[in-house]
Amino acid sequence: RAARAGGEPRPQAVGGVILTDGRDDVVDAAAVERGGATVLDARAAERYAGEVEPVDPVAGHIPGARNVPFGSASSIDEDLLAHPGPLVAYCGSGVTACVLLLGFAAAGRNDVLLYPGSWSDWVARGGAVETGPDRGAAW
């Protein structure tokens, strides 16, 4: 690992991948609250609907979010791929949402953002909550 002046790591090529500085591929709770993006919940339908919540003290989903369970990442539908505008994925703690990002990238869409704090951060901050199944609103 090469270092810059000041001891900071310098981005390097690793195999065919170039690692870069910056975190422009993530958003925080404030950005999600501001709106302007379609929010995708990567958790199982039961957690999204608020029927069960094994980890956090509050069950449900971020208001307006669509449910795209991470197990469906290999078959993301064409409407979602073609959806104009920004997409933000979240899950329980920011890990399984990365599977959605990988699925989108494999399908040619590399601009999906991650909310790494995800549901755990959202409810800890007292964010608004919706419950019930995904109603399949038009993209």
Residue 99 C-alpha from the chain's centroid = 9
Question: Mapping DSSP to helix (H, G, I), strand (E, B) and coil, where does residue 114 land?
Answer: strand
Joined tokens for residue 13: 């090529």
53: buried, middle or exposed (CB in 10 Å: 19+, 13-18, 0-12)?
Answer: middle
Catalytic residue among 49, 73, 89, 91: 91
DSSP string, 47-58: HHHTS--SSSSS
Is there a contact between 104 and 110 (Cβ–Cβ < 8 Å)? yes
How many CB atoms neighbour CB 26 within 10 A? Answer: 14
| 91 included as an active-site residue | yes
Instruction: Indicate which residues carry an active-site annotation.
Output: 91
